[in-house]
Amino acid sequence: MPAKQRSGSAETPTLAVQAFSRLHADILSAKLRPGEKMYVERLRATYGVGATPLREALSKLTSLDLVTAEGQRGFRVAPVSTANLLDITKTRAWVEGTALRAAIAGGDRRWEGQVLAAAHRLRGCPKSDGERLSDEWYRENREFHDALAGACNSPQTMIFRTQLYDLSDRYRRLSVQNGLGGRDFDAEHQSIMDAALARDADAAISLTIDHFVETTRVILSGESSDQDWVDRTIDTLRRDIRAGLGSFPAK
Amino acid sequence: MPAKQRSGSAETPTLAVQAFSRLHADILSAKLRPGEKMYVERLRATYGVGATPLREALSKLTSLDLVTAEGQRGFRVAPVSTANLLDITKTRAWVEGTALRAAIAGGDRRWEGQVLAAAHRLRGCPKSDGERLSDEWYRENREFHDALAGACNSPQTMIFRTQLYDLSDRYRRLSVQNGLGGRDFDAEHQSIMDAALARDADAAISLTIDHFVETTRVILSGESSDQDWVDRTIDTLRRDIRAGLGSFPAK
DNA sequence: AATCTTCAGAATCTCGACAAAATGAGGTAC
DNA sequence: GTACCTCATTTTGTCGAGATTCTGAAGATT
């Protein structure tokens, strides 16, 4: 039998890695609530692993800002706050904007093809399974944005992007989003892609910022009933983002 | 006796934290060589702690790209490569450029004061203790750049900056830098600060890019004797960096 | 000679148990 | 009533031992 002898690199994942994946998923999906105490004994029972691999996973999550660890006082799910949500959105816009600009400057025909393919898959993906958007749609959404930034030619930047996407995603999933907020995601994605393929970096970045900022607005609106405060906060955020990126056409 | 009862938050650092700090320092100082196998048993003897806190520290370092972990095959000091050095430099220039632009747009008089103070301390710091620049000088250097970016008003961006600074620092310390390469660091810093305080973001960013790129050039020159290749590589790097940031004056 | 198998030694990863620290309830002094 | 102290319980952080997996060298096969 010609079975592969060499085990490759996708070995049996270590228990610490499995625990990491499950904890990561459970924090992002808000099954573990922000600020919640993470009792090792309880997690041990839930995930069926010992304390050592658990602590290892928790330490790694600490570096990703999904868990906080304090002295001799154990671990907690990282807390959330409006300030943090705004900071994450701002940083994400900055990193994504830079990556986009570089990708648009350097992308070749293969890149164009991958963007078109990802956009096609995203369009064909069933959007909602009831009230909310489906998980598959969000996976395709991530892949579309990854494809756009892909040609920035910087692994380190892609790592930061992933980390920031995860942090944002938690806020989105925590939010009580009722409906789509009257947005047309297909149109938003289409215009971002059109601008990118037309090599109009300023337009693509500007549209992407809107894309991010509007999502943040929906989340904030779900938290606060003071629509006026939301508007002011979002305006400030948009101004902060623009202040970090270069000058833009007046739109 | 009115001794403080509450222990505050600066408790006895946990052994895992101590191990993390020492490993972090030893990797950055190149006492642990890139690619080197990290035998837990040997580290246990060296640092005098058990395997559990060690593994915890190693996991955290993995998230910071200073250590690699593979399946059932233990840990290694993260390898180095020219491609990675260029990627780190590029990403650092992008993040630092954005932070600087935001800081220059939003910095108040307190920020100006802190920048001036940091610059003053840096000037007053004894530069060399023999051939190389002193460790204290590099600490002050870091604080100067931190002060400049400080007003970007984004904790997350500052975290990325720190991480990138560490990754760059390892390459610098690995390099065989002979001398200062004819650079006048005081002048470079002075002109960056002047531009920043004059609120000329484009100039400040441009000078900072030069600052980073020249350091990378010195490191590459130490590795390769092919000066022509170094020049071409550095030119490409500079072009890549500019491609990610907005348009600049022709200089 | 090159490739495959076998197998002992070494290293990794994991578990259960233990010491040290934190937490919180109840009692005491002011 | 408020603040402080005391002490049992809970939780954390750590260690040593053991099961599983990898590694590399010697021998067998083509």
pLDDT value of position B20: 97
Query: For all residues of chain B together, what is the average pLDDT?
Result: 90
pLDDT value of position A22: 97
Give the CA distances from residue A2 to residues A5, A6, A12, A98, B192, in Å, rounded to whole numbers and listed in that order.
8, 12, 21, 48, 64
- Which residue in this structure is represented by tokens 């549209």? A207
Query: For all residues of chain A together, what is the average pLDDT?
Result: 90
Pull the structure tokens for residue A227: 């629509």
pLDDT value of position B178: 62
A99 reaches B (C-beta below 8 A) = yes
- The neighbour count for residue A101, using CB atoms within 10 Å, is 25
B145 reaches A (C-beta below 8 A) = no
- Measuring alpha carbon to C1', the residue closest to nucleotide C16 is A50
- Which residue in this structure is represented by tokens 């590795």? B223
Task: Give the bridge partners for B133, in sequence order.
Answer: B128
pLDDT value of position B2: 32
pLDDT, tens digit, for every residue of A90-119?
999 999 999 999 999 999 999 999 999 999
Question: CB less than 7 Å from strand D: which protein residues?
Answer: A 7, 11-12, 37-41, 51-52, 55, 69, 71-75; B 5, 14-16, 49-53, 56, 71-73
Rounded to whole angstroms, how far apart are CA atoms B121 and B103? Answer: 21
Query: SS3 of B38, please?
Result: strand
The residue of chain A nearest to residue B10, with distances taken between CA atoms, is: A71
pLDDT grade for B1, boundaries at 50, 70 and 90 = very low
CA atom of A41 to C1′ atom of C17, Å: 14
What is the DSSP code (8-state) at residue B133?
A: B
- Checking if the pLDDT of B210 tops 80, the result is yes
Closest residue by Cα to residue A66 from A57, A184, B238: A57
CA atom of B134 to C1′ atom of D17, Å: 46
Rounded to whole angstroms, how far apart are CA atoms A2 and A149? Answer: 40
* Residues A137, A125 contacting (CB under 8 angstroms): yes
Mean pLDDT across the stretch B180-209? 92
Distance in Å, alpha carbon of A29 to nearest chain B alpha carbon: 21
Q: Largest alpha-carbon pair distance within chain A?
A: 70
Give the CA distances from residue B34 to residues A152, B28, B79, B165, in Å, rounded to whole numbers and listed in that order.
26, 10, 5, 17
Residues of A in contact with B157 (CB under 8 A): 90-91, 94
Q: Which of A3-17, A115-129, B5-19 has the highest mean pLDDT?
A: A115-129
Percent of chain A with pLDDT over 70: 90
Percent of chain B with pLDDT over 90: 80
pLDDT, tens digit, for every residue of B69-90?
998 999 999 999 999 999 999 9
Rounded to whole angstroms, how far apart are CA atoms A189 and A11? Answer: 37
- What single-letter amino acid sits at A35? G
Closest residue by Cα to residue B152 from A206, A230, A87: A87
Mean pLDDT across the stretch A3-29? 76
pLDDT value of position A191: 96
CA atom of B72 to C1′ atom of C2, Å: 29
pLDDT value of position A176: 76
pLDDT grade for B183, boundaries at 50, 70 and 90 = confident
Rounded to whole angstroms, how far apart are CA atoms A56 and B54? Answer: 10
Residues of B in contact with A156 (CB under 8 A): 65, 87-88, 90-91, 164
pLDDT value of position A178: 62
A60 reaches B (C-beta below 8 A) = yes
**A2 vs A130, which has greater pLDDT?**
A130
Q: Which of A17-26, A81-90, A130-139, B150-159 is least confident?
A: A130-139
- What single-letter amino acid sits at A103? A
* Residues B251, B205 contacting (CB under 8 angstroms): no
- Measuring alpha carbon to C1', the residue closest to nucleotide D4 is B5
Give the CA distances from residue A172 to residues A69, B89, B93, B102, B152, in Å, rounded to whole numbers and listed in that order.
24, 32, 30, 26, 25
pLDDT value of position B251: 47
Residue A67 parent element (H or E): strand A67-69
Mean pLDDT across the stretch A115-139? 86
pLDDT, tens digit, for every residue of A168-195?
999 999 997 766 667 888 999 999 999 9
pLDDT grade for A130, boundaries at 50, 70 and 90 = low
